[in-house]
Amino acid sequence: MKVIRDLKVEHFQHGRVEWIGLCTARRGVVEIVSEATVEVGTGLLGDHHATSGKSERQVTMIQQEHLAAVAAMVGRDEVRPEEVRRNLVVSGINLIALKNQTFRIGDAILEGSGHCVPCSRMSEVLGPGGYNAMRGHGGITVRVLQAGTIRVGDEVVPIVEPIEDADQPDRQKQLFS
């Protein structure tokens, strides 16, 4: 019988990058791109969040499946990725399951660092109830552990590190908690 620790790293399938967006300035227009470079400690090159080097929110990700759920809750046919202002839209994998786990997209290695909570702007963009519609559907924030390039169509592949081979015991505890 599998224990919870094992179940937390077991995924049915890999995910897929469906969309990439960069915003060069706060409240600026989101630029849709087919690929982006991620840098360790900062995030997506050209995105305004990629500046401090200390942020847990270096890259933001949302599930494509959740965009449809949010649209239904605000009475719309669709919610476009640029409206919710996340960097990556992925499909086919539960992003919340990647919180506190490492994963690969393209040749970059990332780590889920937290929930990407909605901001008050969601009610501006999505209309009344937009903020609450996004609660629980906002995706995750991510730290960059290895620089690389991410492209639309790349797989999102969890990296499972066996506990008994851990070089850093504290890191392993965090990955599986």
Residue 39 pairs in a beta bridge with: 43
Give me the residue label for tokens 């490492």. 102
The low-confidence residues of the chain, meaning pLDDT below 50, are: 163-177
Q: So what's the pLDDT on residue 155?
A: 97
Query: How many domains does the structure of the chain reveal?
Result: 1
> Residue 126 phi/psi, 5° resolution?
-95, -10
Q: So what's the pLDDT on residue 98?
A: 93
Residue in 144, 124, 123 with CA at minimum distance from that of residue 132: 123
Q: So what's the pLDDT on residue 84?
A: 94
Amino acid, res. 136: G
Predicted TM-score of the model (pTM):
0.82
Question: What CATH number is attached to the domain comprising 24?
Answer: 2.40.33.20
CA distances from 45 to 25, 107, 147, 149, 154 (A): 13, 15, 10, 10, 18
Domain containing residue 36: 4-175
SS3 for 103? strand
Q: Cα(144)–Cα(147) distance, rounded to whole angstroms?
A: 7
Q: So what's the pLDDT on residue 89?
A: 98
Q: Please write the tens of the pLDDT for every residue from 138-172.
A: 999 999 999 999 999 999 999 986 544 344 444 44
